[in-house]
Structures are given as C-alpha cells and as structure tokens.
A = this chain, B = another copy of it.
C-alpha cells in the first residue's frame, strides 16, 4: 500500500472541456504511479479512467448499481456496492486526496464527505462554498490538470487517526 490512491470526482455528464481536463488528470495520475479511484460511471469518471488506462495506470470504479457491467469500459477493478449514492462515501474514503472537476450535487456530496473526513479536495472549475456569508476555503483551487495532480499527490497522506 505504498501506492497513492487519488479519487477523481465529477458529473456523469460533462462538457467537452471538462472531459479534456478529466482525461488529462487521469493521464498524469497514471504517469506518476497513482491509482485512480472513481464512481465508475460515465462523464468525468469515464474520461479520467480513459486517460489513466492509456498510460497504463490502474483504475477502480466504486459503482452505485448492482452489476459490474454498469462500469465504464476503462474501469479495470469494478466494486459493486449496490448501495446507490451511499457509495459516494466509499469513493472518497478510499482515496488519500480527491480531485473534483465540475460536477453537480452528487459531486458536492462527495466533496462534503471528503472534507468531513479531513481528506484534501483539489478543485478544477467546481463548487465554491460559503457559510454564513463567509467563504469556506477548504477546496484547494487548481488552474490546470497538472497543478491539480501535483497538489493531490503532495497532499495525499494517510488520513488522520481518529484518536
């Protein structure tokens, strides 16, 4: 387990530009020896898995549904949870850092679960948060796939012990 596990999260549907970003994030993670964790479906998840696969990387898809065939074609290791969106917790908890690209409310739930567990979240064109009119700066911004991957790998350490 000295490999780093990085989650890439984002919408099941996404723009062309987001697809490009996700594929490049996947490529960079694979080139640098990290294992890609994602929710296993289409959109950002598929683009990231494609990028990683093209560079010979390992891809894990933690699926909401109850059949491995629901995974995108670039998932090498499908985990079939059959638990719907409760699987979002497992996607982020299985990673040491998270890269969020675009995304809708499902992605926001994953960002929240990660931050709740002190797992660093790097954002590329994604949500920003404020609470009681004060900006919450927990999502670390990145301007490019390379910067996102740099920051994710840098921050990827074992989650803090609970005690």
Tier of interface size on chain A: 35 or more
Closest Cβ of chain B to A43, distance in Å, is 15
> DSSP class of A's interface residues: helix, strand, loop or mixed?
mixed
B77 and A77 contacting across the interface, CB-CB below 8 Å: yes
B68 and A1 contacting across the interface, CB-CB below 8 Å: yes
* Cβ proximity bits A125-161 to B, threshold 8 Å, 1 near / 0 not: 1111111110000100000000000000000001101
A80 and B66 contacting across the interface, CB-CB below 8 Å: no
B162 and A67 contacting across the interface, CB-CB below 8 Å: yes
Residues of chain B contacted by A128 (CB below 8 angstroms): 129-131, 133
* Cβ proximity bits A57-85 to B, threshold 8 Å, 1 near / 0 not: 00010100011110100011111111111
B67 and A79 contacting across the interface, CB-CB below 8 Å: no
A83 and B80 contacting across the interface, CB-CB below 8 Å: no
Closest Cβ of chain B to A94, distance in Å, is 5
Closest Cβ of chain B to A99, distance in Å, is 16
**In the complex, what distance in Å separates the CA atom of A85 from the CA atom of B69?**
19
A66 and B117 contacting across the interface, CB-CB below 8 Å: yes
**In the complex, what distance in Å separates the CA atom of A71 from the CA atom of B93?**
13
Residues of chain B contacted by A20 (CB below 8 angstroms): none
A1 and B84 contacting across the interface, CB-CB below 8 Å: no
B94 and A80 contacting across the interface, CB-CB below 8 Å: yes
Instruction: Give me the interface of A with B, judged by CB distance under 8 Å.
Output: 1, 5, 35, 60, 62, 66-69, 71, 75-86, 89-90, 93-94, 102, 104-106, 108-109, 111-113, 115-117, 125-133, 138, 158-159, 161-162
